[in-house]
Amino acid sequence: MAEEYADKPGLTLVGKLFVVLFIGAALYGAYYLLMRGSDGGGGGGSTASRAADPASGASVNPSADSTVKAHLPAGHTVKIGIAYGTEKKNWLKWALDEFRKTEAGRQIHIDLIPLGSLEAAQKILAKDESIHVWAPASSLYKDFFLREWDVQHGGNPIAREEVLAITPMVFVFWEERLAAFREKFGEVSFATIRQALGEKSGWNGIARKPEWGLFKFGHTHPNKSNSGLAVLVLMAYEFHGKTGGLEMKDILDTAFQTSMQDLERAANTQNESTGTLMVNMVRYGPSTFDAVCVYESVVIENLKNAEGRWGGLQVVYPKQNLWNENPYCILGTPWTSDAQRAAATAFLEFLLSEPIQKESLTHGFRPGNPRVPIKFDGSPFIQYQSAGLRIDLTTVCEPPKSEVIHNLLVSWQRSQGSR
């Protein structure tokens, strides 16, 4: 039998080498598929570590790489400027760091420009050529911006628009102050805020706490920041008991004008950034603000910091609310080239990918990508329920038309007098 096998032809040296190479390739392929499957399965590990593999240049969203390859020759780079609301600062900076690790990110230089939503729109209207993407907090001012662009320059300046993340408006109080406020006024609303601001003896008249001084309420500057404009819109909706169809006559109503003037003259509206306003509330405590009206997202980002300084913060949702959808508007302006629009699109596709969207939750946002859940263990909306956070809103109002927005801002400016 041994002789029988010995008589059969054996493998040559080349043949043996081929078999070894074939087996090695098969094992490598199986290992690659296994690792690829574990990365895409949403399993353990932090979001940051799954976003991109720096060593391989593997993108969290391959379409971002293909977008760049289709419009940029290999080795060429392009620079774009993104004017963004500061409420997104921490999330966008983290996302940009991750994007730079990808193949597409190595060809694109992104300049993040922190500007108030309205301030950025005004710069684009003035043809600021450093801006190629407008990423405001909401589209509340967009209708007015588009109308002004058409009047001044003609056409539509926005080539593409997508929602990055959403967040509503909230009142936020120091916990002890909220309890005393509710004891006196029952509910939190713009009407009761106005009453508290009008109390000449301050907290002594509200809660027999003269050591707390006057009642101090703030929001951002409505002519420069979206959240300040949103406050005025919600104030008008609450006063007229509406959820839509806000009209010019509602803004020009003398009773509303008086109510708005009383509240706004006593409020602190000097901050031009919502993120800065919230940080200042936490930094300086109740001596500066008893309450503010800001985005839910900036409160979530600061809840833990507040606990270690001045005590807990409590969130109260206005009965009538607005969604701030954080649109990402790629400009189609004369100074924005095709290559720059492609670069802006690549970063947009990266921002909308699931790992990057999941990270937005860490910074207090509700992801714009509907495939990313909000309710899960570890979600801030579960973790901070005791601070008043909730997922469902009672009533969401529609954004008013551009002429209503314009007259609301003019009315507010006049209410300030020489202030």
Indicate whether 210 and 283 sit together in one domain.
yes
Is the domain of 103 the same as that of 178?
no
Instruction: Assign residue 119 the CATH number of its domain.
Output: 3.40.190.10
Tens digits of residue pLDDT in 146-174: 999 999 999 999 999 999 999 999 999 99
pLDDT digits (tens, 9 = 90+) for 86-107: 899 999 999 999 999 999 999 9
Can you give the pLDDT at residue 306?
A: 86
Burial of 242 (C-beta count, 10 Å sphere; 0-12/13-18/19+): middle
More confident residue, 184 or 15: 184
Task: Report percent pLDDT > 70 for the chain.
Answer: 82
Question: pLDDT band at residue 323, thresholds of 50, 70 and 90?
Answer: very high
Three-state secondary-structure class, residue 113? strand
Position 388 confidence tier, pLDDT thresholds 50, 70, 90: very high
Alpha helices in 153-189 (DSSP H): 175-185
Is residue 60 very low, low, confident or very high in pLDDT (cuts 50, 70, 90)?
low
Per DSSP, 286 falls in state: G
Q: Are residues 218 and 329 in the same domain?
A: no
What percent of the chain has pLDDT above 90?
Answer: 76
DSSP category for residue 60:
S
Bigger pLDDT: 190 vs 305 = 190
State the sign of the Cα–Cα–Cα–Cα dihedral 372, 376, 377, 382: positive
Residue 44 resides in a domain? no
Which pLDDT band, with edges at 50, 70 and 90, does 13 fall under?
very low
One domain for residues 158 and 171: no
Q: Can you give the residue range of the structural domain that contains 409?
A: 167-324+388-415
Give the pLDDT score at 2.
35
Q: Does 89 lie in the same domain as 185?
A: no
β-strand partners of 327: 163
Task: Decide: 321 and 171 in contact? Cβ < 8 Å.
Answer: no
In a domain, 379, yes or no: no
Nearest to 344, CA basis, from 174, 119, 123, 110: 110
Query: 65 to each of 59, 145, 305, 340, 350, how far by Cα in Å?
Result: 7, 32, 38, 14, 9
- Average pLDDT, rounded, for the chain: 86
The reply to whether 410 falls in a domain is: yes
Q: Is 203 in the same domain as 224? A: yes
**Looking at residue 287, what DSSP letter applies?**
G
The domain tally of the chain equals 2
What integer pLDDT is reported at residue 182 of this predicted model? 98
pLDDT at 75: 72
Task: Identify whether 266 is part of a domain.
Answer: yes
How much is the pLDDT for 54? 32
pLDDT at 46 over 60: no
pLDDT of amino acid 33: 39
Res 57 pLDDT > 60? no
233 and 267 share one domain: yes
Q: What is the pLDDT of residue 172?
A: 98
pLDDT digits (tens, 9 = 90+) for 204-258: 999 999 999 999 999 999 999 999 999 999 999 999 999 999 999 999 999 999 9
Q: What is the pLDDT of residues 309-322, one digit of tens each?
A: 888 999 999 999 99
Which DSSP string corresponds to 191-251?
HHHHHHHH-TTTHHHHHS-GGG-S--EE---TTT-HHHHHHHHHHHHHHHT-SS---HHHH
Q: Tell me: do 177 and 141 sit in the same domain.
A: no
Residues 306 and 233 in one domain: yes
Give the phi and the psi of residue 353 in degrees, each rounded to 5. -65, 155
pLDDT of residue 305: 85
Question: Does residue 301 belong to any structural domain of this protein?
Answer: yes
Tell whether the model's pLDDT for residue 51 goes beyond 60.
no
Q: How far apart are CA 314 and CA 305, in angstroms?
A: 13
Using the predicted structure, report yes or no on whether residue 21 has a pLDDT greater than 60: no
Please state whether the predicted TM-score (pTM) of the whole model is above 0.85: no
pLDDT at 115 > cutoff 60: yes
Looking up tokens 């602190």 gives 268
Nearest to 234 by CA among 111, 399, 413: 399
What is the per-residue pLDDT for 76?
A: 83
147 and 207 assigned to the same domain: no
Per the listing, tokens 């509406």 go with: 242
